């Protein structure tokens, strides 16, 4: 009997130890949902070289973000949050105006495009705007925007000098992908969104039913032929990466970890992404970091580990 009890004790101790070891090999990520396909690709590649590590994505809920090992987010955080977390800026994303392809708005602006002044007039509530200088817009339209605080609406509004709360239209619950679904159902719908949700990632063509609206990309007050570069996703990314494009908001995508984190595997995953994550960005509609910034990000986490 004593021998059997001893065997059971050893078994349970081994099971407990094994469970603890497995727990240490798990990394839980949450954050902005339009990044999930990209993160899933990173996880898939990471699993090949680290088969014993379980990296998973959990859809963000009301749970305290601090309960997750890593956050992937799409807007600049408040100073108090920056004090408690280390950030890896890994890529960038752009925001493009878009309309239902069958809408009168798409017919009116699909070719002539939008200037800075028109974007502000159409998308934002501005009590200080000079109504006498506003352009006549013949088509009826319905703007769809995010209800919750989120990276895309914050970035879109900030670029043009506003707050998320200044965006006009119907604020809907859910993620950025739900804005696309709303557009496809409403023949008057217009919105803004990231290229990765507006283009088919396989064909690299705009999604059927959507019309991406060109903008005055050089800031000269009109939209010329060379500013209508929305035929393929790769053309859009190349144009934005090639120089100082105006009227297309661009913001960083970043991963972060708590400074007091004890999950070594989470830090290792961050390091791996810093070294290997750039090659998959454009495939999912994101923009690469410039080489100098990338080296600085890599060095930051080398120091953190060593």
Q: What is the count of structural domains for the chain?
A: 2
In a domain, 178, yes or no: yes
In a domain, 41, yes or no: yes
CA distance 201 to 233: 8
Q: Is 114 left (phi over 0), alpha (psi -120 to 50) or beta?
A: beta
Whether 37 contacts 72, CB under 8 Å: no
CA distance 31 to 255: 9
The stretch 215-244 carries a mean pLDDT of: 95
Q: Percent of the chain scored above 90 by pLDDT?
A: 78
Q: Specify the pLDDT at position 12.
A: 40
Q: Say if residue 102 is in the same domain as residue 237.
A: yes
Q: Say if residue 265 is in the same domain as residue 130.
A: no
Q: Specify the pLDDT at position 80.
A: 82
The stretch 20-35 carries a mean pLDDT of: 81
pLDDT tens readout for residues 7-20: 334 334 444 444 54
Q: Say if residue 161 is in the same domain as residue 275.
A: no
Higher pLDDT, 81 or 295: 295
Q: Say if residue 235 is in the same domain as residue 293.
A: no
In a domain, 9, yes or no: no
In a domain, 228, yes or no: yes
Q: Say if residue 116 is in the same domain as residue 236.
A: yes
Q: Say if residue 194 is in the same domain as residue 114.
A: yes
Burial class (CB in 10 A: 0-12, 13-18, 19+), 11: exposed
In a domain, 175, yes or no: yes
Q: Of 203, 231, 248, which closes a domain?
A: 248
Q: Specify the pLDDT at position 27.
A: 96
Query: Reading across the β-sheet that carries 70-73, which strands appear in turn?
Result: 54-57, 26-31, 70-73, 250-258, 85-94
233 token code pair: 């996703």
CA neighbours closer than 13 Å in the CB half-sphere of residue 158: 14
- Which residue in this structure is represented by tokens 């080398």? 302
223 token code pair: 């939209």
Q: Of 200, 220, 248, which closes a domain?
A: 248
What pTM was estimated for this model as a whole?
0.89
pLDDT-based confidence at residue 5 (cuts at 50, 70, 90): very low
| Residues whose CB is less than 8 angstroms from the CB of residue 129 and which lie 6 or more positions away in sequence, other chains included | 120, 121
pLDDT-based confidence at residue 303 (cuts at 50, 70, 90): low
Find how far residue 260's CA is from the centre of its chain.
Answer: 26
Continuous H helices in the chain: 2-24, 36-49, 79-84, 104-109, 116-123, 151-159, 176-185, 195-198, 233-242, 264-276, 278-281, 291-305
| Residues whose CB is less than 8 angstroms from the CB of residue 11 and which lie 6 or more positions away in sequence, other chains included | none
Q: Say if residue 230 is in the same domain as residue 122.
A: yes
Q: Percent of the chain scored above 70 by pLDDT?
A: 89
Q: Say if residue 180 is in the same domain as residue 232.
A: yes
The residues with which 156 forms a beta bridge, in sequence order, are none
Q: Say if residue 210 is in the same domain as residue 139.
A: yes
Q: Specify the pLDDT at position 24.
A: 59
In a domain, 142, yes or no: yes
Q: Specify the pLDDT at position 258.
A: 93
Q: Of 248, 271, 287, which closes a domain?
A: 248
Mean per-residue pLDDT over the chain, rounded: 90
pLDDT exceeds cutoff 90 at 306: no
CA distance 240 to 61: 33
CB neighbours (10 Å) of residue 174?
A: 13
Three-state DSSP state, 44: helix
Q: Say if residue 148 is in the same domain as residue 204.
A: yes
CA distance 213 to 203: 20
Per-residue exposure over 221-238, b if at least 16 CB sit within 10 Å of its own CB, e if not? eebeeebbbbeebeebbe
**Residue 65's domain spans which residues?**
28-92+251-305
The stretch 16-36 carries a mean pLDDT of: 75
pLDDT tens readout for residues 187-221: 999 999 999 999 999 999 999 999 999 999 999 99
pLDDT exceeds cutoff 90 at 180: yes
Q: Say if residue 195 is in the same domain as residue 271.
A: no
Q: Say if residue 176 is in the same domain as residue 274.
A: no
Whether 280 contacts 38, CB under 8 Å: yes
* HEC readout, 134-185: CCCCCCCCEEEEECCCCHHHHHHHHHCCCCHHHECCEEECCCHHHHHHHHHH
Q: Specify the pLDDT at position 63.
A: 61
In a domain, 22, yes or no: no
In a domain, 12, yes or no: no
pLDDT tens readout for residues 106-134: 999 999 999 999 999 999 998 888 887 88
CATH assignment at residue 115: 3.40.190.10
Q: Specify the pLDDT at position 62.
A: 56
């Amino acid at each position: 009997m004593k021998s059997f009890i001893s065997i059971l004790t050893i078994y349970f101790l081994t099971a407990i130890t094994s469970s603890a070891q497995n727990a240490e090999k798990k990394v839980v990520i949450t954050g902005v949902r339009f990044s999930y396909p990209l993160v899933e690709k990173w996880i898939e590649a990471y699993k090949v070289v680290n088969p014993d590590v379980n990296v998973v994505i959990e859809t963000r809920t009301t749970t305290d973000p601090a309960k997750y090992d890593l956050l992937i987010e799409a807007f600049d955080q408040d100073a108090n949050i920056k004090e408690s977390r280390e950030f890896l800026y890994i890529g960038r994303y752009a925001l493009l105006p878009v309309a239902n392809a069958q809408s009168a708005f798409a017919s009116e602006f699909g070719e002539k495009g939008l200037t800075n002044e028109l974007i502000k007039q159409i998308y934002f509530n501005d009590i200080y705007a000079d109504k006498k200088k506003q352009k006549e817009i013949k088509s009826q339209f319905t703007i769809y925007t995010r209800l919750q605080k989120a990276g895309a609406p914050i970035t879109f509004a900030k670029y043009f000098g506003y707050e998320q709360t200044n965006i006009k239209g119907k604020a809907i619950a859910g993620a950025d992908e739900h804005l696309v679904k709303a557009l496809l159902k409403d023949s008057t719908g217009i919105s803004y969104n990231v290229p990765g949700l507006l283009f088919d990632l396989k064909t690299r063509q705009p999604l059927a039913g959507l019309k991406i609206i060109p903008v005055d990309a050089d800031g000269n007050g009109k939209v010329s032929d060379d500013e209508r570069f929305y035929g393929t996703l790769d053309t859009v990314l190349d144009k934005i990466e090639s120089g100082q494009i105006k009227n297309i908001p661009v913001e960083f995508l970043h991963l972060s970890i708590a400074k007091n984190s004890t999950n070594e595997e989470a830090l290792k995953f961050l390091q791996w992404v810093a070294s290997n994550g750039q090659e998959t960005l454009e495939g999912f509609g994101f923009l690469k970091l410039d080489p100098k910034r990338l080296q600085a990000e890599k060095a930051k986490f080398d120091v953190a580990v060593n």
